[in-house]
Amino acid sequence: MIANIPFFEQVNQSFDRAAALTDHPPGLLEQIKTCNNVYHLTFPLRRDNGAIEVIHAWRAEHSHHRMPTKGGVRYTSQADEDEVTALAALMSYKCAIVDVPYGGAKGAVKINPRDYSAAELERITRRYTYELVAKNFLGPGVDVPGPDYGTGAREMAWMADTYAALRSTEVNPFACVTGKPVSTGGVRGRVEATGRGVFFGVREACSMKEDMKLLGLPTGLEGKRVVVQGLGNVGFHAARLLAGAGAVVIGVAERDGTVYREKGIDVVKLDEYRRETGGVKNFEGCEFSDSAAGLELKCDILLPAALENQIHDGNVDRIRAKIIAEGANGPVTAEASRILHERGVLIIPDTYLNAGGVTVSYFEWLKNIANVRFGRMGKRFDQKTNRNLLEAVESLTGKTFGEETIHRLAAGGDEEDLVNSGLEETMVSAFHAIRDCQSRHNGIDLRIAAYVIAINKIAVSYSDRGIFP
């Protein structure tokens, strides 16, 4: 029987296990754990056929230890207050772990976006934005949403445009959301940021010789067999980058089933096929089974990149992966996580692994606040400096590089180069901080180590403000 434990309670179970390893006062720990604000709103929607429908939506601000708060907005028929609150809490801890100076927040609109026209989705998004502004739940220094499950750059552009119309005198109104199109203040590299962050995190975990030895695996990504659940934005880009680094994607689970090929699947072609046909069934050269079976395939790395509670006490005994990389939020329940850790499975936790999105969203927010594109000030200077160095080397060695080589080596970083570099530095540094914390607390898993780091950083933030001496 599958235990039906509320999502927020599961998050708090992990929090409590980590909090027991700290020496902070109980009152401070309770403040860190508690969700500060939850706004449940309803509003009418006139459908294209003239019918009236009542829409339910939420925005939760879990922690104001840093401002603004930050978190995505998802459109899903499964949304409820518990889910939104739990995801907001995860955002608080995630931002702290990767040193992004935000409190955590999350939003949701309870709809299946596939059931609505583009015009209806625009009306829903703009009304949701209006209601958030009216209650001071949106603004560059207040609360900054971003894209999530069921939303994307289009919805963020609608939100930004609505906010700008309501706050026309603000200098940087488009900093009210992130994940926008580049043409409206977005940043290059944001679309693939979460998946790229997953790749960096998995790569670092697989570089740990001692950990790989315990799993009976060689160091590095080369040859590791990967199964991905969810070929959306996160799963696709993570799988593509892992494959590019030498891993072999042998299985992909989607809503309509699982495709499997031991020799490897071309995820770029599969994604094109999925977009054309609406699913993965009958993809050329692959075996096919039901969607749930994908999680139970024997592999080295299982990457759940769909929704929460996918691995639970009802299927945990059938999970055969050696590494679980949590691309989604909360894909492994608290009890299943404990069981897997005792079995020796390495879980790379969501609170760290999928932080690439919020990291690059932070870069976008900084770009909007500063009103200047990354690389604009220094690119030409860097090019000239690098060219001078290469020409000096030519002069000293007598070796000629050639103009094409000099041009390539001397090129300064553009916006996407700088964003990806900042993301890599963030993910690499955070992983080793978590790994070091795990070493100091012998016996805990990476999830609890990540929570310990988050709790300590949030506690320091409160203390430095004089709230809790």
**Residue in the block written with tokens 């079995």:** 343
C-alpha span between 242 and 201 (Å, rounded): 11
159: which 2 tokens? Answer: 């939100």
Segment 147-202, tens digit of pLDDT = 999 999 999 999 999 999 999 888 899 999 999 999 998 888 888 999 999 999 99
C-alpha span between 306 and 268 (Å, rounded): 18
Report the candidate in 23, 9, 4 with the shortest Cα–Cα distance to residue 463.
23
Per the CB < 8 A criterion, the answer to whether 81 and 339 are in contact is no
C-alpha span between 128 and 420 (Å, rounded): 32
C-alpha span between 124 and 97 (Å, rounded): 33
State the Cα torsion 440-442-445-447 to the nearest 10°. -30
pLDDT bucket at 378, cuts 50 / 70 / 90? low
Half-sphere exposure of 323 (CA within 13 A, CB side): 31
Per the CB < 8 A criterion, the answer to whether 261 and 250 are in contact is yes
The pLDDT value given to residue 353: 96
Instruction: Tell me which H or E stretch contains 86.
Output: helix 81-97
- Is 224 among the residues known to form the active site? no
Domain layout of the chain by residue ranges: 1-34+187-375+413-469, 37-184
In residues, how long is the chain?
469
**CATH class of the domain whose range is 1-34+187-375+413-469:** alpha beta
Per the CB < 8 A criterion, the answer to whether 159 and 85 are in contact is no
Residue 452 contacts by C-beta under 8 Å, 6 or more apart in sequence? 18, 21, 22, 437, 441, 444
Angle at Cα 384 formed by Cα 378 and Cα 389, nearest 5°? 120
In DSSP terms, which residues pair with 254 in a beta bridge?
Answer: 257
Which is more confidently placed, 409 or 42?
Answer: 42
Mean pLDDT computed over every residue of the chain: 90
Segment 200-224, tens digit of pLDDT = 999 999 999 999 999 999 999 999 9
Segment 250-306, tens digit of pLDDT = 999 998 889 999 999 999 999 999 999 888 888 887 888 888 888 999 999 999 998
Highest mean pLDDT among 246-250, 272-276, 400-404: 246-250
- CATH architecture of structural domain 37-184: 3-Layer(aba) Sandwich (3.40)
C-alpha span between 469 and 463 (Å, rounded): 5
The pLDDT value given to residue 1: 42
The yes-or-no answer to whether 1-34+187-375+413-469 and 37-184 have a common fold is yes
Segment 290-348, tens digit of pLDDT = 888 889 999 999 999 988 889 998 999 999 999 999 999 999 998 899 999 999 999 99
Task: Considering the candidates 33, 94, 106, 379, report the single residue annotated as catalytic.
Answer: 106
